[in-house]
Amino acid sequence: MYWQIEQLSDAEDKSMEDKHMLMIPGPTPVPEKVLLAMAKHTIGHRSPEFSQIMEEVTENLKWLHQTNNDVLIVTASGTGAMEAGIINFLSPGDRVLVGSNGKFGDRWAKISKAYGLEVDTIAAEWGQPLDTEEFRTKLEADTEKQIKAVIVTHSETSTGVLNDLETINRHVKEHGECLIIVDAVTSLGAVNVPIDEWGLDVVASGSQKGYMIPPGLGFVSVSPKAWAAYENCTMPRFYFDLGQYRKSAQKNTTPFTPPVNLIFALQVALQMMKEEGLENIFARHSRLTKATRDAIKALGLPLLAPDECASTAVTAVAPTNVEAEQIRKVMKKHFDIALAGGQDHLKGKIFRIGHLGFVSDRDILTTISSLEITLQQLGYQNPAPKKVVKAASKPLILT
């Protein structure tokens, strides 16, 4: 069945109050159970009760990260976690390879330069994946083992590209000496990142993404090889000295005052994730990604990233016959659905649909239906009417 949509009114729809939908790659929606956990009375962070929670949380973080390595919690965003991952295992003057094919790859190069590292950038056009062969070539040429780390964004949030971390890491392992430092901020909890199986050294992520809780916590997984590098690292650090966090974690506590209620939230969110199971979590994200991309194709809108390297966290759309910011404006005004915009030189040229964390089939269908109506409102002629929601629904579990 298909129905004609009347012209949308310019008036605000007050019935939409308190029905805000976050369909961006972060912050992501928060489950009711998690919100209720945050509403509990705060307890002392040095109390036995809090230590019990920390013990459970640490065990479940290792489960999520698929590792027996330390997984440390810092009070910071994903950027803070990445900065901690860089400054604890490197020294000023060290040479690093930084993969850059978006906003966040660029950021890690800037942070590295700010700390006096010698940065060699391996770049790709925004919307395209990093060339793994460039990493192989540069690492093989480093016969004197001057490269101390490779820094890679796994899921590039700004473009919706999933870089081939497994292959890049294999080249790092063949080098033998350098570390791999990974931004898994929008991949951890959305796609398989088997830390121990791949031998990843430093993996950073943030709470407001796949973890399904509000912003404020960063996570850093650290391998034994990285801890060996820590012993010789001369980078100045204090609050982000991960050695302090490691000592505290062994006692189920923290070196500094943590956001206690966010830890309550994390406890419940991890319980929910364990109940769903890793394979089901990854399958759900894959399903939602395909549903979103299939629907965008049915709408006749160009996708920024190719299918073969599509992020399971976010889909970037590059409309040509209608303005991206107008789409976002109408979606927010009439449906109270938040879509993300483009960043840097892509600002105003793309919009991004997040399908990360606590997102369901219903959320995708609602967003796609609202997007189709929005495009009609803006005068966009859909080349395949009546097929959009059907395209979105095919990959979803509706039986």
State the DSSP string of 15-57.
Answer: GGTT--EEESSSS----HHHHHHHTSPP--TTSHHHHHHHHHH
Cis peptide before 129 (omega within 30 of 0): no
Shared domain check, 261 and 318 = no
Shared domain check, 282 and 270 = no
The total of structural domains in the chain comes to 2
Domain CATH code at residue 336: 3.90.1150.10
Alpha-carbon distance of 338 to 354, in angstroms, equals 9
Contact criterion met (CB below 8 Å) for 78 and 209 = yes
Residue 1 lies in a domain: no
* pLDDT value of residue 66: 98
* pLDDT value of residue 19: 83
* pLDDT value of residue 179: 98
* pLDDT value of residue 381: 81
* pLDDT value of residue 268: 98
Those residues of the chain that have pLDDT short of 50 are 1-5, 399
Shared domain check, 233 and 315 = no
Alpha-carbon distance of 99 to 290, in angstroms, equals 26
Alpha-carbon distance of 361 to 287, in angstroms, equals 9
Which letter, b or e, does each residue of 309-328 get, where b requires 16 or more Cβ atoms within 10 Å of its Cβ? bbbbbbbbbbbeebebebbb
Alpha-carbon distance of 389 to 37, in angstroms, equals 35
Reported as type and span, the H/E element at residue 260 is helix 260-276
Q: Which of 275, 302, 322 is the last residue of a domain?
A: 275
Shared domain check, 293 and 236 = no
Contact criterion met (CB below 8 Å) for 204 and 77 = no
pTM of the model: 0.94
Domain CATH code at residue 87: 3.40.640.10
Full residue range of the structural domain in which residue 296 is found: 14-25+278-393
Q: 299 Cβ partners below 8 Å, 6+ apart?
A: 371, 372, 375, 382, 384, 388
Alpha-carbon distance of 13 to 334, in angstroms, equals 7
Shared domain check, 345 and 250 = no
Shared domain check, 286 and 247 = no
